Amino acid sequence: MLWVVSDRGAIIVHARDEQELDRIIEPSVQAVIYQPPSLPAWLGAVAGAVERGALAVPRTTLASARRDELAAWLEHHVPVGAVADEVRAALIEDVLAMSDRLAIRTGGGRFLMRIFTGAPSTECGFHVDTVPPGAPVWGLLRVYNGAGTAYIEPDNLDSVAAFYRYLGRRERLARERREARAAGDGAAAARLESEIVALDARPAFLHRPQDIHVAPAGAIVAFKHLDIRLHWSSHGRAAAWIHCSPMAGAPRLVVNLTVPQAVPRSARPAPHVSAR
């Protein structure tokens, strides 16, 4: 196990054992990145199928699904014949195993799943993910192929306020670009695109703007989500993982899972309970 500790106490754990994903429940842990020592053959088959367009999954958010509903959706939407049957079964089981980990560690019985295949774009820059009020404040992410997820070490953050200044400006630029595109104003859209690219190239909220790390494809990331009530506030830097999808590259398969509602205290697991 390796981990990086910032000067402000927030930690990103770089795990060598999948069980260490459970460290995400520690208050100071912002994210746990588990990179398997070797990736299974089925993952390579999935990567190839996604990148050549044979395996495509519609961009979907299941807002509150039981495990059996996740399974049914995956069975219906992961295309038969895109990969070998055993590869398809392994992919579906992998997604369900992430929901099992969430269920065991949170006591939750319903899940919010975001899933898609698609090429990266400049639509979204550095950001934090949020959960509804009172919901467990962490989730799981797996990028199955292509470019990984960029992130910053906690000690590289100038301040939470500086990050939100960046986020506010970027969201405004992205909104104005969408409006320009909808209006058919190509010149304005191109100008706004240039501003977005320049903003992302040297993030002003970082002490070391070029010191960007990447969680590689194939890794499983457990990471802190922010209670939506704290968004745009001066919360602690360990409260959420600041990260960014790639801006260009081949199509990727991405799955993100959280528990979307508060879990009664009586249903929460004992601290020693662990997932597979």
- Do 37 and 166 sit in the same domain of this protein? no
Per DSSP, the residues of 187-250 read HHHHHHHHHHHHHHHS-TTBSSTT--EEE-TT-EEEEE-EEGGGTTS---GGGS--EE--SSSS
**Per-residue model confidence as pLDDT tens digits over 208-240:** 999 999 999 999 999 999 999 999 999 998 999
Structure letter (DSSP) for residue 40: -
What is d(CA 13, CA 11) in angstroms, rounded to the nearest whole number?
6
Q: Quick check: is 266 in a domain?
A: no
CB contact at 8 A, 257 and 112: yes
Q: Which of 146, 33, 142 is nearest to 93 (CA)?
A: 142
84-126 pLDDT, tens digit per residue, is: 999 999 999 999 999 999 999 999 999 999 999 999 999 999 9
DSSP SS3 for 117: strand
- Asked if the structure places residue 275 within a domain, the reply is no
Helical H runs in the chain?
A: 41-51, 67-77, 85-106, 160-182, 186-201
pLDDT above 80 for 3:
no
Cα separation, 28 vs 210, whole angstroms? 25
Residues 7 and 92 in one domain: yes
* Domains held by the chain: number: 2
Question: What is the span of the domain harbouring residue 233?
Answer: 2-157+208-260
Same domain, 76 and 196: no
Same domain for 164 and 66? no
Burial 190-228 (b: 16+ CB within 10 A, else e): eebbeebeebbeebebbeeeeeebebebbbbbbbbbbbe
How far is C-alpha 236 from the chain's CA centre? 20
CA 150 from centre of chain? 10
Instruction: Dump pLDDT digits (tens) for 18-46.
Output: 999 999 999 999 999 999 999 999 999 99
Tell me what pLDDT residue 264 has.
77
- Residues 167 and 31: their CA atoms lie apart, in Å, by 20
Give the model's confidence band at 269: pLDDT under 50 very low, under 70 low, under 90 confident, else very high.
confident
**Are residues 178 and 118 located together in one domain of the fold?**
no
User: What is the chain's mean pLDDT, rounded?
Assistant: 93
| Whether residue 60 is found in the same domain as residue 167 | no
Mean pLDDT on 11-22: 95
Closest to 255 measured CA to CA, from 145, 133, 132: 145
Asked if residue 128 and residue 28 are part of one domain, the reply reads yes
Pairwise CA distance, residues 64 & 221, whole Å: 21
What was the pLDDT predicted at 265? 74
Residue 140: which of 270, 255, 40, 16 has the closest Cα? Answer: 255
Is residue 7 over pLDDT 60? no
User: Do residue 134 and residue 232 come from a single domain?
Assistant: yes
Provide mean pLDDT across the span 155-169: 96
